[in-house]
Amino acid sequence: MPFELEALVGHLYVVGGKMIKTTPPGALVEVAPGRAARGREFDTFFALVAPSGTLAPNTFYEQMALMAAERFFGVTGSVTAALRDVFNTLNNNLYEHNQSGRRHYEASMLCAVLRNDELYIARVGAAVAVLRYSGETLTYPEDITNDEMLYQPPLGVQPIPMVHMKRFVVDSGTRLLMADSALAEIPVDKLSQALVTANLEQVLNDLKLVVLSNVRLMAIELVPPEVVVPVPVVTGESTAMIATEIAAVRSQQATTPIATEATPILTKRERRRLDHHLRQQTGEVVVSAGKSVSALGEVAGKLFARPIDSTRPRLSPTFLMAAVIALPVMIVMIVVVAWSGQIGVSDFEACLNRASEAAAFARTVDSSTPGSVLAAWEATLEVTRSCETLRENDPAIAALLAEGRNVIDRVNEISRRDATVLASFPDARLKSLVLQGLDLYALDSQNSLVYRVQIGADGVTTRSLPQPITRMQRGTTVDGLTVGDIVDIDYDATVAGAVLALDRTGVVVRCLPQFIMECEAQRVLGSETWQNPVRITLWNGNLYVLDPGANQIWRYQITAGDYQGLPTEYFAGSVRPNLTNAVDFDITTTGIGTVYILQGDGVMQAYLSGDAQPFAFADMPLTEFSAHSMFLNDSPIGKTIYIINQPAQTVYETTHSGTFMAQYQVFEDQAFELVADVVVEPAQRIMYVASGNTIFALKMDG
């Protein structure tokens, strides 16, 4: 690994003003076990479970932390996806237990994950993180004195947990406090004073003096492995120890009545049997469920309140947490079962009645539970679409479909727009768009050919037929150089706004817009060291090449209109970011230029002169998504970033700091099936999107 940090950990546990000399219940540090899921091998997991509502036994918080660690190291995918999975699984467990009418449990939870030089922090409920690095003290939530930001719904009170996440790039000497909401009572300046003391022991000693009455706290310092530890610290547990503890708990549960308080366990066979039973008893279930969401909760409680057979082999903790079916899934099952139980009974009128009943049920779902609202309306749309095959263009069916989609869009904060076809190209697969005034350039990656589209004054029509730039395509010869597979295109504002293309062999072709067929070419030096160039950007005339294969951005200095020298590395030194999954990048035009790099898993990184800058998406509908490309709008009208999520057929809009603004989809879903790139004209607020062989124009204001 190019960068490695280890964690020194200390604890502070104060109850009623008295310090308890033990690890706070629910505090856990876990290094990757030997059988960790792929991608988890080098992660370190921190968890702190804090009381919420009625105080539970200490073992409750301890088991919550243990189950969170096992869940995290048992799933693949990105860190953010794994953390969300942890919270969703634990919340489903608690929520379904609470709905059964037995003893009510709630918990606030704060998790952190250290991966190389990245620290991910996630929280649900009232919990506080304080981070000291690079000479700054940062809190999460950002304003811990704001009760609305601090006191969020805990685990176990709603079907879908409200998860907040943030990512930091850290270095040696970084210190982190993870605590319950009691830490918010201490002024930030006093927390900062404690965090800058000589060692972790002194940090805890200083915090003891300012704690008012109660606190559960973990103090963490990140250091290189070779650093000599000056004070006693906690070593990350191996899951071998955890497995032993869990086995002991299993044995105890199998022989004591307390097992009846645990969440019911369903085997796969029992799940199938319940599903079969539901389908046979469609009428009774739907009638009782359709009355209200509370009635649905009672039915779910009766269905799943199965006694545990102590002679049956116990399941793993991972399967135990995943075994309970969430409320939204129940809603989907009930609505779809209602449909499947009546299909074929009568004609269109009967189908319409079923769709209307499903919609009526969906309207009763409490709007404060968005997951349940989505599940109900998605199932309703499935029933309604089945009626379209019986009668096309029926206004009642169209109205139900429109209502369902509007509700889903409102919950998901989707801005849906009409897509106007601006231009289409035969046998093309568009990859990149470049907008220069009223000229729009498109790269067809399938044929390695660049097109020029001249846009009309209204922004949604063309002045003439789109034309290929014949000297900017694979196989053509310019200045004695043969153009190969084109990597990307950009425009060069320093040379009369010329459009520029770069191929994989290092051939640069530049064409002027006034004489688009008159082009010049040169081959840049050092292209033989490239591994997998995917995108280019021009900044102040200099050419930047994103090369994930080489884990580098190559920089070519322009001199007298040409790139004459060897490239320099944007990232220098031994500590470099991991770019192997990078898909796109861009640079701001102001100041010395901030470089934004987009990863394929939706993570955005920001750098200034090669140094990492704080950046995290805020209020995004999804903290984890598949990213395809980006467009950086750096105009004075609005500094925004647009990101393509191809699987979701969505364009996200955020500020330069990562704050979510909007997400755009089109009414004709098939239009965005192959969405690949986006550019925006900020004055007219028109978005141009490349999908497949077509360029669409969308008016962002509707």
What pLDDT score was predicted for residue 317? 43
Tell me the mean pLDDT in the region 614-636. Answer: 87
**Three-state DSSP state, 569:** strand
CATH superfamily of 6-242: PPM-type phosphatase domain (3.60.40.10)
∠ Cα 228 230 236 (to 5°): 75
Confidence grade of residue 445 (pLDDT, cut at 50, 70, 90): very high
Please tell me the least confidently modeled range out of 93-97, 275-279, 418-422, 630-634.
275-279
Using the predicted structure, report yes or no on whether residue 293 has a pLDDT greater than 80.
Answer: no
∠ Cα 539 545 546 (to 5°): 115
What pLDDT score was predicted for residue 496? 72
Tokens 């076809």 -> residue: 421
Using the predicted structure, report yes or no on whether residue 423 has a pLDDT greater than 80.
Answer: yes
| Candidates 1.10.1660.10, 3.90.1150.10, 1.10.10.10, 2.120.10.30; CATH matching 417-699 | 2.120.10.30
**Three-state DSSP state, 489:** strand
For the stretch 356-404, pLDDT in tens is: 998 999 999 888 888 788 888 888 988 898 888 888 889 999 999 999 9
**Three-state DSSP state, 163:** coil
Q: What's the rounded Cα separation, in Å, for the pair 680 and 433? A: 10
| Under 8 Å between Cβ of 649 and 672 | yes
Measuring CA to CA, how many Å separate 649 from each of 380, 381, 666, 691, 699? 22, 19, 8, 10, 17
Residue 167 contacts by C-beta under 8 Å, 6 or more apart in sequence? Answer: 80, 118, 119, 120, 121, 603, 615, 616
Residue 202 contacts by C-beta under 8 Å, 6 or more apart in sequence? Answer: none
Q: What's the rounded Cα separation, in Å, for the pair 4 and 94? A: 36
> Residue 197 class from Cβ within 10 Å (0-12 exposed, 13-18 middle, 19+ buried)?
middle
| Residues of each domain in the chain carrying CATH 2.120.10.30 | 417-699
For the stretch 564-600, pLDDT in tens is: 999 999 998 777 899 999 999 999 987 789 999 999 9
What pLDDT score was predicted for residue 337? 53
- Provide the terminal-to-terminal Cα distance of the chain, rounded to the nearest Å: 48
Residue 163: what are its φ and ψ, rounded to 5°? -100, 130
| Residues of each domain in the chain carrying CATH 3.60.40.10 | 6-242
| Under 8 Å between Cβ of 474 and 448 | yes
The structure tokens listed for 637 are 């009208």
Which amino acid is located at 320 in the chain?
Answer: L
Helix (H) or strand (E) holding 19: strand 18-19
Residue 119: strand pairing partners: 114, 168
Which amino acid is located at 604 in the chain?
Answer: M
Using the predicted structure, report yes or no on whether residue 285 has a pLDDT greater than 80.
Answer: no
